[in-house]
Amino acid sequence: MSRFVLRRIFASLHEQPPPISRRVFSSSHQKPLPKPQPSTNNNPLKSSRPNSQSSITRNASLLRAMANTAHMDLLTFFYPIGNTPAVSLTRDIPRETKANVLSLGCGDARNILYTTHVAGSTSPMDITCCDMESLVIARNILLFTLILDYGGNRIKDIWDIYYHLFIGPKALALLESQTTRLLAVSDSLESWHASNYGKRLRFCDSSSFSEVKKIWSNLLISNMNNSQKVAHIDRLRSRIQRAKDLRHYYIGEKFVFTGMRSAAPLNREAVQDLAKQHKHFWDTGSTDKPNANSAAMPNPMFTSQLNKSSILHYGTDPLLGFHLATAYASLVPQPTSDPHAHAFLQSSAHNLVRAARQQFQAWCKSFRKHAGIMVLRFFVGEALAFCHALQQRKKGIAVGPYRKPGTFETILLDSEDYLPVVTAPMSFSVINTSNLVDHVGAINLLIATSPLLDDNLFATLYTESLVNQEKDHSTLAESFLCGNVSTMSVLLGIFPTDYWTNVVPISTADEAILNTARRRLGDKLSGDYMYSRLSWKRYVPDHTLRASNRPVISFEEVDLARILFDVYLNMFQNKDDGRLMSRLRNLPRKMQRSSRYHHGSYALLLHFIKERAPTCNWDKVMNSLFQYLGNNANILACGKSIQELVVQLHMLKICSDQVLQLSPRSDGRACSSTLFKGWKVLPEVVCLTLKVPRERLRLLTKISPQELGTPAVHGVLQSSITYTGQSFQNIFSVVQQASGKVTTSGSVEDKTLSLHVREEEDCWLGDSPLLVSFLVPTSTLLLDKNAILALGIQRSFSPVSERSTILLHFYTTTISNIKDVFVTKELPHGANHMPRNSKNDTTSCIEDPSQDGFCSSVLANLKAGTAQIGSFTGRIDLSSHKTKDILRNYTTIHTTRISPCSISVMLGKENSYNIHFPIPVVLQGSKTNIVRKSSYIEVTALAEDPVDCGGSLKFMYPVVPTKSSPVLWNMPRVDMAALPTLDVQQKKRMQWLVPHCTLMFSERERRAIQASLSSSQAESVMDSRTRFKQGLFSLFIRQSGLQGQKAGVFFLNNPSNGGTHIVVFASGLRLDAASRTVVLDTAVLVLTREIMSHILGFIQDLHSKKSPDIAAINMDDEELQLWKETLPAFVERCRTWNHRPSCEYVKTSKVPLSTAYGETPLCSCGNGKGLDDVVAKFPVLKKAAKFAVRAAISPTFASSFVEQLFQGQEAPPTEGKARKFFRLLTDWWGR
């Protein structure tokens, strides 16, 4: 990077920093200053790059844990119970494959319990759980041991211990005895691992073990005397009462509706009961019926005794983690220990509790049954830090970054599973991140997690969001990624499946309806939520591409800089003062995004992308990027953080070290400073640690936590009033903080000076001084020996700012205050060096081993005037003399799209070369450039729009063949035996199915259907996907008998081309509550030329019958082709059998096998298997059962990230708020 560019940025800062008063909050104004002259670097102490190298790498390692903004947390919420329904963690993994799962922000045990219940295989599972709250981990391990020890014998008491705020004597006695049992084998980490529990429940490190053991010790009251017991119980009661007070503050009398997603797809039926049961739980602390609970003891499993600022979240509800639709659905009775298990009690809130308890009991039974093939590992700490620690351990480095905010403790994975030899998983087929994206930001999360994702097609990373960050889902994806989704997916190397297929397994239309209702009723409803769950994969599927032959994408340096600049604007747009005041309406949402990122986050992103774009000249990229930054007049706040950005780039070895030898705003005279007395050689970057007296925090800690919120904390380094040079002010947001007493060791003379902190448990509410550390350029410290050092709260529009200006400083001192200011080469408790993110090929030209004599490369091109990839240029360089001669002889060249992501270039009749692109492309409008003299061919293809891509026949439910078994890219597996069957005979209670199936159609598709009703050319109005959904709609509605005569056998007919092609035998409709939808349990018979001679009489008999149980669904060629494209996914998802070594998918490397007339898309491995139920219902099928295969057909929903799903009507009602909300939802769901 050129010095001129940086000088230009430094020189563009005209603001005089405000003098900092001794008041807690300053209110001075900024004044412009003359433009500075170019600076020179006359420092008498020169930096020495080789000598500072070790401190760079150690500091860079710790910076990984500081990727997220540091906050002042006077109030943190404790989430002991999940607030979204349980999901299967292995739903996207082939059934034969061992599941290595990483669960970040794991929360309660619901997902693990449910996964063991529906996994439907005997494949081993190894699940690593991470949560920052030690009480969450302690609760879960205690629950797992209770299940292992007691099974279903004490299920009521186990439920009470885990879910009730108050418990009775029996549950309390069980809690005490189990805790005592756990502590008896917890003398050390080694003794725990040697116990029966430790074989399946393991800790990643001794620190996590110690924290959990401390929690267990605090659960016991049996060893207390009477006065201690009374005091202990009073503390527990006061913590629960404070949670109730906060609930009243945040919710009051508002209508609570957020639990409705747990009752999908029967949301409407549950709306009032959910609100009633939620209130009952908070009034009584129990889910039991009124007057049925004799509990008097506050449950210590819900209150942290170690963290003063941690309070139970006001939205806690034991029922939200379960699938509550079973409480209202008409189900076929099954054998159960509860004779009233499926009784339907209209408006009975306790029916919800009964459903949840039954599921809990079944899940616990399954967990105990499968415990022998499971290993659960536990880590207490921050998720991003843990991920970076795992990345480092993969490189052989044991010590990682800081464990979590509020501590200087570094991560040391010292369990025997990680040291000296790693036996625990280091990469994962599933990474579930809960809703961490709401707290840490998607960019930070993806950078930390994606390097840990297995390198295969089925490996999946899940993100979940609950916070309402944008006006709708269509803008949410770009908000997540701080840029265009297609472009950022290519840069990050991870792709959201919903976005590219326009298909989601879970209906989000219900959420759209709820959001519309919330906007209309405003403050009468609690919460401000927008639920979304995204699945991310490493690759867009392409059956033509070998795993070892994926393309490396290159960029023009100026184009990559333009993209990165756009990301910068989106990441920090709230700090762009020039645009801030014009965006006040969106400020609350935008402030959330800004608070997740700082310039260290941005530097980590650049480092990550640099690893993925090795062919770029990064000096040119950075030079262009800083030119963009320097030329943008609106980036005023950027200048105050530019020093931090350069420091972070330097630490990550992205930016040239010479930049930090500059003296920005210097008058050219190096000051004589005692700050570095004894330092023989100066590093470019040093660490400042401030010790803030506790009394200076009192004015902040006295403010109500509800008013103060959680403002971001930053450090400030600025020139003093006596400084005669050009004034400067620099803000540093990459900070680490803790509370405790500091000691030093070593000396500056031998470069070993370091800080050690004896910490308190609570960072902000403790008694010891607050310690805050951050990195600064050495050159800036040399400018002014009296420079001011401050700690402040970043700009906010909370009530705090009503008492002050935007810049809020709560502590100031000078760098000469050697009592409270420490300067060291490393951050406190410095750790080992930072590893590279991943291994990358350093070449852009990929040789295809299957095709001799050429290599290919792909260049991304931006749309004119944007930062969005608009096209790709694929290049084929011929290397063999034969093919070069063919090209020079002016042989004809043809291009064909052979898959959504691949184009084949035909050179003559025999030579074919494939160009693989990272995302789907469009052949129409592509350009071919042939350079015969240099022997290369270029094809420029437009990137496909997601809506168009979603309409691609081959890109709805992609299935990719592998040597072991086919891989489903976006269709979740289901265990049909675990799904209850709906009783469709009770039509009155099945009416919800019609609006639910209607929600398959997006707003665009509904308009197309409406237009087709008045058009004689209906097919030209609706695309093939819309017509396919209409066929699905007919299947579900006719099978249930809700519209027209009930049918069980369906002919899929193409009247203009061969008549019946597929016969579907529907044995029953099952409730898939986890996916909030239904599944049709079917046997599918594809009529091919090969089998017709065997079953011709059977088919003729079916056609001749006039039974109302038989229905025909007519379709055209395109719709029939789409059915054949999707059938392999419907079959594979419910497979309970293994594919044979001779499987046709493996032999042909194709799925589907064929969509041609008279040919089958399916392999024959599953023919005749698992069809007992359907044959029992349709005895006639017995004649042809050996040619049929079981399939699980479900509705196909559009993605809200691609299309608008629902558009509400405006009609302000005047009823009471609960009845009003119920009326709104009833009207909408009945549309």
Q: Are residues 975 and 865 located together in one domain of the fold? A: no
Q: Are residues 1006 and 1083 located together in one domain of the fold? A: yes
As a whole number of angstroms, the distance between CA 340 and CA 485 comes to 49
Dihedral angle, C-alpha 731, 734, 736, 742, nearest 10 °: -50
First to last CA, the chain: 60
Q: Are residues 819 and 869 located together in one domain of the fold? A: no
In a domain, 427, yes or no: no
In a domain, 79, yes or no: no
Q: Are residues 1019 and 936 located together in one domain of the fold? A: no
For range 462-490, the mean pLDDT: 84
Query: Which of 886, 920, 946 represents a domain boundary (last residue)?
Result: 946
pLDDT reported for residue 850 = 44
As a whole number of angstroms, the distance between CA 125 and CA 128 comes to 10
Q: Confidence class of residue 14 from pLDDT cuts 50, 70 and 90?
A: very low
For range 1086-1095, the mean pLDDT: 93
Choose among 103, 100, 97, 169: nearest CA to 130: 103
- DSSP H or E run through 10: helix 3-11
In a domain, 415, yes or no: no
pLDDT reported for residue 345 = 37
For range 348-375, the mean pLDDT: 93
In a domain, 411, yes or no: no
In a domain, 552, yes or no: no
465 pLDDT higher than 80: yes
pLDDT reported for residue 672 = 45
As a whole number of angstroms, the distance between CA 592 and CA 584 comes to 13
Q: What confidence tens digit (pLDDT) does each residue in 1097-1155 have?
A: 898 888 887 677 899 999 999 999 999 999 999 999 999 999 999 999 999 999 999 99
List the strands of the sheet with 1059-1072, edge to edge.
1110-1114, 1049-1054, 1059-1072, 1077-1086, 1189-1193
Query: Highest-confidence range of 162-171, 506-515, 814-823, 1002-1011, by mean pLDDT?
Result: 162-171
As a whole number of angstroms, the distance between CA 641 and CA 1016 comes to 63
Q: Are residues 938 and 964 located together in one domain of the fold? A: no
The percent of residues in the chain predicted with pLDDT above 70, rounded, is: 80
Q: Are residues 377 and 517 located together in one domain of the fold? A: no
Q: Are residues 744 and 810 located together in one domain of the fold? A: yes
Q: Which of 83-92, 108-117, 904-913 has the lowest mean pLDDT?
A: 904-913
Q: What is 825-881 written as a DSSP string?
A: SS-TT---PPPPS----S-S-EE-TTSTTEEEEEEEEEPTTSSSEEEEEEEEEE-SH
Q: How many domains does the chain have?
A: 5
pLDDT reported for residue 468 = 72
Q: Are residues 149 and 265 located together in one domain of the fold? A: yes
- Report which of residues 610 and 55 the model is more confident about: 610
Averaged pLDDT score across all residues of the chain:
82
pLDDT reported for residue 544 = 66
Q: Are residues 567 and 669 located together in one domain of the fold? A: yes
Provide the domain limits for residue 473: 468-537+1201-1231
Q: Which of 312-316, 509-513, 836-840 has the lowest mean pLDDT?
A: 836-840
Q: How far is CA 1088 from CA 503, 753, 1063, 1099, 1118, in A?
A: 29, 79, 11, 12, 18
* Six-digit token string for 962: 């592998």
Stated pTM of the model = 0.90
Query: Which of 836, 859, 880 represents a domain boundary (last residue)?
Result: 836
Q: Confidence class of residue 631 from pLDDT cuts 50, 70 and 90?
A: confident
Q: Are residues 962 and 1024 located together in one domain of the fold? A: yes
Q: How many CA atoms lie within 13 A of 416 on its CB side?
A: 10
Q: Are residues 204 and 246 located together in one domain of the fold? A: yes
Q: What is 307-373 written as a DSSP string?
A: -TTEEE-TT--TTTTS-GGGGTS-B-----S-TTTT---TT-HHHHHHHHHHHHHHHHHHHHHHGGG
E strand map for 42-175: 76-78, 99-104, 125-131, 166-167
- Length of the chain as a residue count: 1231
pLDDT reported for residue 335 = 57
pLDDT reported for residue 702 = 80
Instruction: Give the count of beta carbons closer than 10 Å to the beta carbon of residue 850.
Output: 9
Query: Which of 315, 347, 381 represents a domain boundary (last residue)?
Result: 381
Instruction: Give the count of beta carbons closer than 10 Å to the beta carbon of residue 22.
Output: 6
In a domain, 1212, yes or no: yes
* Six-digit token string for 845: 């030209």
Task: Render the burial of 55-89: b for 16+ CB within 10 Å, e for the rest.
Answer: bbbbbbbbbbbbbbbbbbbbbbbbbbbbbbbbbbb
CATH number for 936: 2.60.40.790
For range 748-776, the mean pLDDT: 81
DSSP state of 916: E
pLDDT reported for residue 1130 = 98
724 pLDDT higher than 80: yes
In a domain, 400, yes or no: no
For range 1169-1187, the mean pLDDT: 93
As a whole number of angstroms, the distance between CA 1100 and CA 76 comes to 69
pLDDT reported for residue 51 = 36
Q: What confidence tens digit (pLDDT) does each residue in 950-990 have?
A: 556 668 999 999 888 899 999 999 999 999 999 999 999 99
In a domain, 166, yes or no: yes
Q: Are residues 928 and 975 located together in one domain of the fold? A: no
- Inter-residue contact 648 to 603 (CB < 8 Å): yes
- Inter-residue contact 406 to 763 (CB < 8 Å): yes
Choose among 504, 612, 638: nearest CA to 560: 612
Choose among 1066, 1047, 1059: nearest CA to 1190: 1066
